[in-house]
């Protein structure tokens, strides 16, 4: 049975998503999770917050981050995150919008989540809004 995510409160069903990433990114996530006031058991909540912020961006802002992620060749590990199914639907909708506006960019769920994580690790929302 799916459990609601307490911090966001409006989700009920959860889906596990495997995200390919670099070893460096995977190693940086625990520190960022703690620094942002979560505990390590709340890693997926931290990722949910990052993705929620990311998918709210205009497509033109998302596209640049996705191109960077799609060009990353050293995806040498992975991690599994529990995301609300509603958020997975939003990720798929963003992917479809990007493809419609820029047919050469074909983002996967993994690349969108990876871009959101990278943006959060770099504190880009704090720097550039």
Q: Which helix (H) or strand (E) holds 126?
A: helix 124-128
d(CA 125, CA 129): 4
d(CA 20, CA 113): 9
Structure tokens at 21: 């990433």
Query: Could you state, in order of their start, the residue ranges of all structural domains in the chain?
Result: 14-128
Q: Residue 41 CA to chain centroid, in angstroms? A: 17
Per-residue pLDDT of the chain (129 residues; tens, 9 = 90+): 344 444 445 556 999 999 999 999 999 999 999 999 999 999 999 999 999 999 999 888 888 788 777 777 789 999 999 999 999 999 999 999 998 988 888 889 999 999 999 999 998 666 555
Structure tokens at 43: 């890693």
Give the pTM.
Answer: 0.83
């Amino acid at each position: 049975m799916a459990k609601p995510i307490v911090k966001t409160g409006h989700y009920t069903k959860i889906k596990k998503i495997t995200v390919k990433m670099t070893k460096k990114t995977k190693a940086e996530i625990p520190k960022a999770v703690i620094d942002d006031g979560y505990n390590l058991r709340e890693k997926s909540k931290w990722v949910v917050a990052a993705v929620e912020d990311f998918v709210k961006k205009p497509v033109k802002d998302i596209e640049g981050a996705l191109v960077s992620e799609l060009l990353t060749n050293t995806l040498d590990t992975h991690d599994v995150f529990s995301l609300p199914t509603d958020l997975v639907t939003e990720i798929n909708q963003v992917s479809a919008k990007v493809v419609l506006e820029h047919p050469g960019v074909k983002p996967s769920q993994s690349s969108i989540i990876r871009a959101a994580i990278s943006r959060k690790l770099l504190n880009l929302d704090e720097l550039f809004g």
